[in-house]
Structure 1
Amino acid sequence: MPALSDVMEYAELFTVAPLVIDQDHCVAVRNRNARCRQCRDICFVSAITIENNEISVDGGACVNCGACLGVCPTSCISATEPAHSEVVEAALQAAVRAKGVTCIACARKAARHDADPELFAQVPCLAHITEGLLADIAAAGARDIALVDGNCATCKYGAADAAIKCTLDNALKLFETLDAPIIVTRLQEFPPEFANTFKRDIRGADRRGLMAQTGRYLRTVANNVAQKTLEEKLGSAKSKPRTLKDRLGAGKSGKMPTFPADENMHLIDCLLKVGNPEKIANLTEGKAAWHEDAALNTRHFGSVTIDSEKCSGCGLCVLFCPTEALKYGEFDKPDNPDMRYLEFQAADCTQCSMCVDVCLRDCIEVTPNVSMREVLDFEPRLIEIPRPKDRLPLFNKKFP
């Protein structure tokens, strides 16, 4: 007779988590000094735990509202039910049938069957909608996007309303900055032309959705079982767990491995597709007047400043920057031999504030106010800091 622990272990194989977490991309996992707890703080059901260099989600407590998806600065959290790509595809297909209007509705509103289910895409909650998802839809040709929800004030998951508003504000700022002709509207009722005049189709549409969801579930379970079987065959399940240092592969210098700011790069690509070509050209070629290049104030791009009077030049900010938005300058050198340059790339900065958290002199500031011209500029901004003099960091010392 199998032990209870074995039964529980195999039962987990049939559980499909609504969220997937890339542990190695979370700054709180990478460094115990990181203060970022944005996903945990926005979760109103306390399903997210961050402790001992690990982030975990309680699948039983998680209501799959999606509020945590947009706040993570390094995009280490992604949804599986539904996945980002599935929402985009469903929304674009529905837009064709809706004659141009791209509509996404929350599950609560969709359940009332007020609108033809063939004309809109469905998400558990509108908090699943991120700036990147809206930019993806816009880049595919959508110009009129309607987001429909029930009255959040009466919803038991209404606490996600703040996350929805934040996403819409940020998306509109990004579109407006590049004069993108994208209209995003949040509604409590479906547009009149979406009225469900063919109620006989509801069951069929629901059945198709159920079959698609069932297919994804079976594929996930199959992958879980295959992985478990492989672990048992190789004996890895009983091996000693790898440490964080081993897993991340930090070098002898202590330099943490970096990863590209893919979400930022993808967002920029989408904005360049939908933005006003003349405005983009003026920004990238430096022809725009100062008032035409107003600073953004979004959560996707950040601006770093360093007080060179207080800085010791220890280099911890470079050492721990996860996306390499900060790195040592390789070519330009200041006239003063006691100083050196750091290169800062605004497009790679995700506002994780890891540099602020590890700074020993409190001389670094990260703000969301960043010039769109700087975001689109391929040339990094040079930041002058002193070369270390009095005391080298431990990781730079040479021992006999």
Structure 2
Amino acid sequence: MIKKSAVQTSYGCCDTEYARGRGAMPSIANMLGLIEKVGSPFITVHQDRCALVRNRHADCLRCAGVCTSGCIHYDEQAEQLVITPELCIGCGTCATVCPTCCLEAHHPNDTEMIERCRTAARATGGTITIACGTRLSQAAGLYDTDKVVRVECLGRVEESVLTLMQSEGANIVLVHGQCAECEHRCGWNMLQTVLETEKTLLEAWRQPLNVRVSAKLPAATRRATDEAFDKSKRQAFEESGKDAARVGGVLADFAVSEITGAEFSPQKTKNYVKVMADGTLPHFLPDRRERLLDALATFGDPDDVMIDTRLWGHVIIDTEKCQSCRMCAAFCPTGALRKFGEDEGEGSEFGVEHYPGDCVKCHSCEKICPADAITISEEVFARELFAGATDAYYMKPVPVKRGQAHTIWKLQQTMCLTDQVYER
């Protein structure tokens, strides 16, 4: 069962933070069944990246903490995660907060959003306006669609797009609606966290933050007054068509499922992820992280400072407590923790190495460690994100290797503190 504690979330999107106790999480099969329900024309679910699918002891549910519509919801009474896919509005806030990119937003997806931003920058001479759908609906027909990037909610905006566009010389204006009264205001809170991270990063790279938030569309986005009247009508139709397509796609999926009696499933549930040759689950580094680091690299070397953001963490392993199981590396979603060497008894060198640049601060390693030997530092050195330097943690040989022919016999000798235990 998923437990809750009264702790303010770091995103300020809800009143509590999800705290899970070991042995209380859903089984992998149950979590697979839950998370796949989020899939829709708005969201693609990559289940093998979800921290809770990879290991039931992981501590996440960030998506439930920021969901703006109640699609992903924690039921306090039943103490369980509830997925109601028909409530999804396609805002993409859950995809912004997901550290492993298990959830991928569409309409627009990242590639489309970047291209639309570049189109807007060309049309305005360097200004990119990203606006929430509610505000644009109110201004339908008054702005040039080529000069504005529409998102359902500003919670869709994340650091890699902001940094990339600024590295290309653009100024960014984020236009919001009545967020204080909006029922989806969690997206606004997520945006504030993203902007705080962006400011921290650019300060470390000695760059100005060319992003401002506004309640009004910039004058540069205004539709030219000398254009024919029919373009205004055509634009209104285009906006209506986009809205209808977004809603129609979801309604069609659910209508078919209701008529046929089959549960809506936008994608097949994959078989359990196979373990690789080194005993770890497959790794995936989100494209957003690579895009962000590439954009930052264009600014040159950062100051030799430590930065505290939502994006990276530094893994610290207490080798005295460590049981040398290396489960942290086995379940690390990105490969920021990797095994080296093999335990071949006394004198062998083996352990785990950590590369902070690939860490997404999912905290999986910290939560699944059976010996509580891992802590995550919130701060990382900015230069370590590019240097390729790793921390190597050398581990002690395991007294009794598991899964061997004489494992039970050796364990009994260890437990009884004597070698006078025999097998037949």
Alignment of 1:292-371 (within 5 A): 292-330=303-341, 337=347, 340-371=350-381
Quick one: distance in 2 between partners of 1:174 and 1:398? 53
SS of aligned partner of 1:108: helix
Residues paired across the two proteins, number: 346
Corresponding position of 2:122: 96
- Alignment of 1:372 with 2:382, yes or no, is yes
Corresponding position of 2:52: 28
Distance 1:49 1:257, change over 3 A: farther
| Deviations 1:282-337, CA, capped at 9 Å, x for gaps | x5xxxxxxxx3221212222110011221122211122112111112359x9xx94
CA displacement at 1:216 relative to structure 2: 9.0
Corresponding position of 1:185: 212
Quick one: distance in 2 between partners of 1:149 and 1:259? 33
Amino acid of the structure 2 residue aligned with 1:304: V
Corresponding position of 1:132: 160
Amino acid of the structure 1 residue aligned with 2:120: A
Amino acid of the structure 1 residue aligned with 2:379: N
Kindly indicate whether the alpha-carbon contact (under 8 Å) linking 1:346 and 1:370 is maintained by their aligned counterparts in 2: yes
Amino acid of the structure 1 residue aligned with 2:41: A
Corresponding position of 1:168: 195
| Structure 1 vs Structure 2 CA RMSD | 3.6
CA displacement at 1:126 relative to structure 2: 0.5
CA displacement at 1:219 relative to structure 2: 10
Alignment of 1:66-77 (within 5 A): 66-77=92-103
CA displacement at 1:351 relative to structure 2: 0.8
Corresponding position of 1:204: 234
SS of aligned partner of 1:313: coil
Distance 1:61 1:212, change over 3 A: closer
Percent identical among aligned pairs is 26
TM-score normalized by the length of structure 2: 0.71
| Deviations 1:150-172, CA, capped at 9 Å, x for gaps | 13112222232211101111122
Amino acid of the structure 2 residue aligned with 1:272: A
Quick one: distance in 1 between partners of 2:187 and 2:251? 29
Q: Which has the higher helix share?
A: 1
Quick one: distance in 2 between partners of 1:293 and 1:74? 27
Kindly indicate whether the alpha-carbon contact (under 8 Å) linking 1:301 and 1:350 is maintained by their aligned counterparts in 2: yes
Structure 1: runs of 5 or more not aligned = 1-14, 225-236, 284-291
TM-score normalized by the length of structure 1: 0.75
CA displacement at 1:105 relative to structure 2: 0.7
Distance 1:34 1:82, change over 3 A: same
CA displacement at 1:353 relative to structure 2: 1.3
Distance 1:361 1:161, change over 3 A: same
Structure 2: runs of 5 or more not aligned = 1-38, 76-80, 255-264, 408-424
Quick one: distance in 2 between partners of 1:44 and 1:371? 33
